[in-house]
Amino acid sequence: MPRAEETTLELDLAALEHNYNYIKSKLHPSTRLLAVVKAFAYGSDSVIIAKKLEKMDVDYLAVAYAREGMVLREAGIKTPILVLHAQPLNYSMVIKYCLEPSLYSPRVFREFLKAARAEKQKAYPVHLKFNTGLNRLGFSENDIDYIADTILDRDELKIKSIFSHLAASEDKSEESFSNDQINCFIKIAEEFTAKLRVNPFMHILNTSGILNFPEAQFQMVRTGIGLYGYGNEARFDSELLPVATLKTTISQIHYIEPNESVGYNRAFRSEGYQKTATLPLGHADGIGRQYGNGKGSVLINGKKAPIIGNVCMDMIMIDVSNIECNEGDEVILFGKGHSAETFAAGANTISYEVLSGISQRVKRVIIGT
């Protein structure tokens, strides 16, 4: 791996391929795999990640919003793309770029049917989301009659899949609730298929669901965080490889005396003679203020150094009193050797937040192609 000379997010495509193959190994041969590349592919680079996944013959991609799908299409991605939270304002964009919307309520169902009719579409692929307990988005079971009455004997739309989302698939204490969701989904699917006289494929499992509820694979599963190297459980994390490694360098080293302060608001005061280092990244790069004052730590020459004082917009300061290091040395915020889950835990958050929050001003470097 190249040594960082500036703040860099290193993307290891060999690690992505390893994670993809590991997840595929958990699936039945006939089970489709949908890869989630929303939020700039969890803070990495959606185009780079999607192109690699397309080369590996992924069955589906998913984004949150239509504009994310537009970016992929304009980059030449041909794989089917599910838009998980398409907004009615962007339905013409969805159709223009051959994206497949998730429809989740009578209102958005009517609006997309109207848009498809206006664009003279026939059998346009859509996916219907049902709420089974997450209570975020989704039709209720009681909406099935409405859906059937609205589109039976019409030809504008083709229902490609029906799906739902587990609320706590990584939590062993909520196993009973997850099974209740799965059983509810099966009941909805049976009623839906009977009333609409169609047979769409089904999916409910996310990354933790794939690992913990293999009996509910149905015809497709979805994976996001697992592709990027995190399985929400230590036993699965050990099988996965971090795709993104955030690196930077030491800009300057200071030697401070007792009771000197460091950073804004003098949030850190030394108790003795200490050595500090300043790094060229901050909350504008995605390392928020919550990591300051000892909550977060970084890795230098294999040793942990705590972040001290308040995180600045473009800089953070660390305590390197007990570490042999020099200006220009490489520093790892998270990635290989210091996982994003470990880094995030110091600020009482999760890997998803720290990964997806990395600013696009940070240079991306690809390795392991």
Catalytic center residues = 38, 264
- 3-state SS, one letter per residue, for the chain: CCCCCCCEEEEEHHHHHHHHHHHHCCCCCCCEEEEECHHHHHHCCHHHHHHHHHHCCCCEEEECCHHHHHHHHHCCCCCCEEECCCCHHHHHHHHHCCCEEEECCHHHHHHHHHHHHHCCCCCEEEEEEECCCCCCCCECHHHHHHHHHHHCCCCCEEEEEEECCCCCCCCHHHHHHHHHHHHHHHHHHHHHHHHHCCCCEEECCCHHHHHHCHHHCCCEEEECHHHHCCCCCHHHHCCCCCCEEEEEECCEEEEECCCCEECHHHCEECCCCEEEEEECCCHHHCCCHHHCCCCCEEEECCEEEEEECCCCCCCEEEECCCCCCCCCCEEEEEECCECHHHHHHCCCCCHHHHHHCCCCCCEEEEECC
Picking from 110, 173, 104, 160, the residue whose alpha carbon sits closest to that of residue 132 is 104
> In this structure, which amino acid lies at residue 207?
T
